Amino acid sequence: MTQENRPNSHVPIITLSAITKTYGQGQAAFQALGGVDLSVQQGEFVAIMGPSGSGKSTAMNILGCLDTPTSGAYIFDGQHVENLTRDQRALLRRDYLGFVFQGFNLLARTSALENVELPLLYRGESVEARHRMAKAALKSVGLDGWEHHTSSELSGGQQQRVAIARAIVTNPKVLLADEPTGNLDSKRGHEIMDLLVGMNRDLGITILMVTHEPDIAAYAGRIVHFVDGHVESDTSNSKTKSATD
């Protein structure tokens, strides 16, 4: 792990400009996003909140290059993502983004080490490099010595730690977390949030996190609320929370 991701300019790493997303056509058309503007500086920790149907998940899918906008501009680190081909978006995901999901999404009969190695396999890293980098990532999330345990041998909190190690093993510029504590009890959820805060602070990884829980959003330095496909509010959180609070 390095500190290459630390903020080094005032140019946003992410800019959404007048982003719209419409599903269907004619009378069946549904506008999930109605012109979203959002800028994120490198090194920020942003919580995205909103009720079901507010557009937050659609926005996250566009940010993660899993979907494309109907109109508007998405600029990632100076690159207009909306102009990229499917293959180019896949490369951007592979090389610059990490993903953490509510359901962990680990391979069931595969060891923690092998789960973390998976993104490195897609990047063509050697077996030796994959082992070294995956072990370092697992150690960074507090799972040194758990490399050969399968998912069924790990608690929910440990599984989410494996998922975070897998997300950061490629040293991404941006980590996208979708309800990362949703399947965890309160204690384990706060442990995971303290881990994410530490990575944001110490490694400079930009984090965008969707959550329904105000106490989880309180860990972020900025909170964005979506309502009916628009950004209703975008506020700084000067009293960020830690797991010891």
* Type of residue at 221: G
Q: For residue 21, is it within any domain?
A: yes
Q: Tell me the C-alpha distance between 53 and 57, whole Å.
A: 8
Q: For residue 81, is it within any domain?
A: yes
CA dihedral 133, 138, 144, 148 (to 10 degrees): -90
Q: How many domains does the structure of the chain reveal? A: 1
Per-residue pLDDT of the chain (245 residues; tens, 9 = 90+): 344 444 445 789 999 999 999 999 888 899 999 999 999 999 999 999 999 999 999 999 999 999 999 999 999 999 999 999 999 999 999 999 999 988 888 888 899 999 999 999 888 899 999 999 999 999 999 999 999 999 889 999 999 999 999 999 999 999 999 999 988 899 999 999 999 999 999 999 999 999 999 999 999 999 999 999 999 999 998 777 765 55
Q: For residue 216, is it within any domain?
A: yes
Q: Tell me the C-alpha distance between 93 and 228, whole Å.
A: 27
Q: For residue 2, is it within any domain?
A: no
> For position 42, which CATH number holds?
3.40.50.300
Q: For residue 7, is it within any domain?
A: no
134 is in which domain, residue-wise?
Answer: 14-235
